[in-house]
Amino acid sequence: MLKEILSISGKPGLFKLISNTPNALIVESLLDGKRSPAYSNAKIIALEDISIYTENEDIPLKSVFKRIFEKENGKPAINHKESANAITAYIESVLPEYDKNRVYVSDMRKMIQWYNLLLSKNLLNFEEEEGKQEESATPATE
């Protein structure tokens, strides 16, 4: 689900991986649909590789998105431009075990902004993910 969705430092929004060339990745902005190259000198990370610090073990970003999705019954989350207190209270309601010393309000805003963007583009599909996990958990019979 999030393997081909990228965050590129210095560029707003998220990008979908379109193609891989020897010198750059060709990406498409989820904000305006424009395609552009992303060069290796930019910090590029797939959303699937992002996790959130908690008091115990880190939680993958897609698990946080799933919690927001369930809390909101598949609807958008609060606006990422709300007050810092509102953002913090919202994340606490979704992820009460987050590490309060290492997860900043700016990180929370980004999570909420990304969730709402992915939801608006129909790129959050948790049923498909669960189906794959169930298949791999089922022992093969001979």
Percent of the chain with pLDDT over 70: 89
Looking at residue 142, its pLDDT comes to 40
Looking at residue 39, its pLDDT comes to 92
Mean pLDDT on 55-83:
96
Domain 50-133 has CATH 1.10.10.1650: yes
Mean pLDDT on 16-32:
95
Looking at residue 130, its pLDDT comes to 53
Is residue 95's pLDDT more than 50? Answer: yes
Strands (E), the chain: 5-8, 15-20, 24-29, 35-39, 44-46, 51-52, 59-60
Out of 3.40.50.1970, 3.50.50.60, 1.10.150.120, 2.30.30.730, which CATH number does the structure's domain 5-47 have? 2.30.30.730
Domain(s) of CATH 1.10.10.1650: residues in the chain? 50-133
pLDDT tens digits for 31-66? 999 999 999 899 999 999 999 999 999 999 999 999
Looking at residue 128, its pLDDT comes to 60
Is residue 4's pLDDT more than 90? Answer: yes
Contact 57, 20 (CB under 8 A): no
Give the β-pairing of 44-46 and 5-8: antiparallel
**Rounded Cα gap, residues 63 and 41, in angstroms:** 29
Is residue 87's pLDDT more than 90? Answer: yes
